């Protein structure tokens, strides 16, 4: 298997982008990544996107977007795995380069979510849950994650204030990210006083609805070294993927995410590393409780200790293990198909030393965790500076 590196990164505008379409947002990110890599063509394209048919009435994205980019004829594939679509698109692109099928691949993600009403958006997102066993009975993702939060609070003593501290931390990080959708800082009181969504979760415990796209250019390591132009070469050294029952109640424990644990074990084994080797993390904080449970499931803290991480300052910028220094889904935004790729953009930015105010000191190894639904699909990726 060949070694694979990230040679180009790009983001579109993120937020409620009324003056852009899905195709124009995606092209904006793709062109930025191509320019950053210094290439004008690729061998293949992958596109992570969860529900373009429901959000904008468009399927068949591979061919559409390759043509939009001015690359008709290049093989292009749309990848879907709910909110993990971007992570799985990255895995598919990685496999093409690692196997020798391609030397340079554009891995991307996109979602245009604000062109429909709130109810229509909720219905589209609900397709990532179990339609018969959850959605039919009225379950929504805020409700499902609220159940996880209640179970964690009951078992481990996690407090409502600790949940709020995750949001406060990530908004603090997002205030330093000019690409973040919400760049204002918030307080614990702000979180606790915000509108109730599903007890114990309030509006400020939830990630927003977002339009946006992200792209990375992957290349075989020797090609990457030629394209580096003096920048550190950022290498993907481990990638793991796992699935689980979609329905939350079908799992034996609501306080952990086994697919995340399995994916992490596979990624660490491939990279020849362990949790102790990670310098910073971008993880899937779709709700504040998700960050707490994911930290435990990744093995980055003991079960039941996740609630204490933001409270202690360990996961803040400057702490022992900075988490979501981009602002995470909570502050940066969550265009569901793009999130997994955007995490890789942040990891590469950090490892290049280009993150400015939010730069993690002496960062050499980063980890990304991207998941779909309540964790029924997870991709974990380990990235480091090549020697």
Q: What is the pLDDT of residues 288-309, one digit of tens each?
A: 999 999 999 999 999 999 999 9
The whole-number average pLDDT for the span 129-145 is 96
33 located within any domain:
yes
Which of 227, 255, 276 delimits the end of a domain? 227
Active site residue 301: no
pLDDT of residue 223: 96
Q: What does residue 16 show for φ and ψ, rounded to 5 degrees?
A: -95, 90
Residue environment code for 66-97, b if the CB has 16+ CB neighbours within 10 A, otherwise e:
bebbebeebbbbbbbbbbbbbbbbbbbbbbbb
For residue 287, pLDDT beyond 90: yes
Q: Are residues 184 and 322 in the same domain?
A: yes
For residues 34 and 32, give the distance between their C-alpha atoms in angstroms, rounded to a whole number: 6
- Annotated catalytic residue within 49, 83, 286, 301: 83
For residues 256 and 292, give the distance between their C-alpha atoms in angstroms, rounded to a whole number: 10
- Annotated catalytic residue within 152, 171, 279, 334: 334
122 located within any domain:
no
pLDDT of residue 387: 86
Q: Which domain holds residue 43?
A: 4-117+209-227
Q: Are residues 328 and 243 in the same domain?
A: yes
Nearest residue to 210 via CA among 326, 337, 78: 337
C-alpha separations of 29 from 13, 174, 310 in Å: 8, 20, 32
pLDDT of residue 229: 84
Strand partners, 188: none
For residue 41, pLDDT beyond 90: yes
Active site residue 83: yes
Q: What is the average pLDDT score of the chain?
A: 97
User: Residue for token digits 């509006």?
Assistant: 203
Q: Are residues 162 and 75 in the same domain?
A: no
140 located within any domain:
yes
Q: What does DSSP assign to residue 226? A: H
Nearest residue to 182 via CA among 173, 191, 192: 173
Q: Are residues 336 and 356 in the same domain?
A: yes
Q: Are residues 192 and 324 in the same domain?
A: yes
The whole-number average pLDDT for the span 122-147 is 96
The whole-number average pLDDT for the span 218-224 is 97
Which of 227, 257, 284 delimits the end of a domain? 227
The whole-number average pLDDT for the span 188-202 is 98
CB 169 within 8 A of CB 316: yes
Q: Are residues 191 and 306 in the same domain?
A: yes
Q: Are residues 279 and 354 in the same domain?
A: yes
123 located within any domain:
no
For residues 43 and 62, give the distance between their C-alpha atoms in angstroms, rounded to a whole number: 13
26 located within any domain:
yes
For residue 342, pLDDT beyond 90: yes
330 located within any domain:
yes
The whole-number average pLDDT for the span 179-192 is 98
The Cβ of residue 161 has, within 10 Å, a number of other Cβ atoms equal to 13
For residue 92, pLDDT beyond 90: yes
pLDDT of residue 168: 98
Structure tokens at 54: 């429901």
Query: pLDDT per residue over 367-381, tens digit each?
Result: 999 999 999 999 999
Q: Are residues 219 and 193 in the same domain?
A: no
Q: CATH number, domain at 295?
A: 3.40.47.10
Q: Are residues 107 and 34 in the same domain?
A: yes
Q: Are residues 358 and 259 in the same domain?
A: yes
Number of domains forming the structure of the chain: 2
Which of 197, 227, 257 delimits the end of a domain? 227
Q: What does residue 355 show for φ and ψ, rounded to 5 degrees?
A: -90, 0
Contacts within 8 Å (CB) and 24+ apart, 52-60: 52/22, 52/78, 52/111, 52/112, 52/337, 54/116, 54/120, 54/123, 54/124, 54/127, 55/22, 55/111, 55/112, 55/113, 55/115, 55/116, 55/121, 55/124, 56/21, 56/22, 56/112, 56/115, 58/22
For residue 191, pLDDT beyond 90: yes
Indicate the length of the chain as a whole number.
387
User: How would residue 46 be classed by pLDDT, with cut points 50, 70 and 90?
Assistant: very high
Give the whole-number percent of the chain exceeding pLDDT 70: 100
Q: Are residues 93 and 184 in the same domain?
A: no
């Amino acid at each position: 298997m060949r070694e694979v590196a990230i040679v180009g990164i790009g983001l579109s505008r993120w937020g409620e982008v009324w003056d852009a379409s899905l195709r124009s947002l995606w092209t904006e990110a793709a062109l930025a990544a191509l320019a950053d890599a210094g290439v004008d063509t690729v061998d293949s394209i992958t596109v992570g996107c969860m529900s373009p048919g429901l959000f904008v009435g468009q399927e068949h994205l591979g061919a559409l977007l390759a043509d939009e980019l001015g690359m008709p004829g290049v093989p292009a594939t749309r990848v879907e795995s709910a909110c993990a679509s971007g992570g799985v698109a990255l895995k598919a692109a990685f496999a093409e380069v690692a196997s020798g099928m391609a030397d340079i691949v554009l891995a991307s993600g996109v979602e245009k979510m604000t062109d429909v009403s709130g109810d229509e958006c909720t219905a589209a997102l609900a397709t990532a849950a179990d339609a018969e066993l959850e959605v039919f009975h009225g379950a929504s993702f805020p409700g499902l994650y609220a159940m996880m939060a209640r179970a964690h609070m009951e078992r481990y003593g996690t407090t409502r204030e600790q949940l709020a501290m995750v949001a406060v931390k990530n908004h603090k990080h997002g205030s330093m990210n000019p690409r973040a959708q919400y760049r204002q800082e918030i307080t614990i009181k702000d979180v606790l006083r915000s509108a109730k969504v599903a007890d114990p979760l309030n509006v400020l415990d939830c990630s927003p609805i977002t339009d946006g796209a992200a792209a990375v250019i992957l290349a075989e390591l020797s090609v990457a070294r030629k394209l580096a132009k003096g920048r550190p070469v950022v290498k993907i050294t481990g990638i793991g993927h796992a699935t689980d029952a979609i329905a939350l109640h079908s799992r034996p424990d609501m306080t952990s995410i086994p697919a995340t644990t399995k994916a992490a074990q596979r990624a660490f084994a491939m990279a020849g590393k362990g949790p102790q080797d990670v310098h910073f993390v971008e993880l899937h904080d779709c709700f504040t409780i998700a960050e707490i449970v994911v930290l435990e499931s990744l093995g980055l803290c003991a079960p039941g200790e996740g609630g204490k991480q933001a409270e202690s300052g360990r996961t803040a910028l400057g702490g022992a293990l900075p988490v979501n220094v981009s602002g995470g889904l909570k502050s940066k935004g969550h265009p569901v198909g793009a999130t997994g790729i955007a995490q890789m953009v942040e990891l590469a930015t950090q490892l290049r030393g280009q993150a400015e105010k939010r730069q993690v000191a002496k960062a050499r190894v980063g980890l990304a965790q991207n998941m779909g639904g309540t964790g029924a699909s997870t991709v974990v990726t380990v990235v480091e500076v090549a020697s």
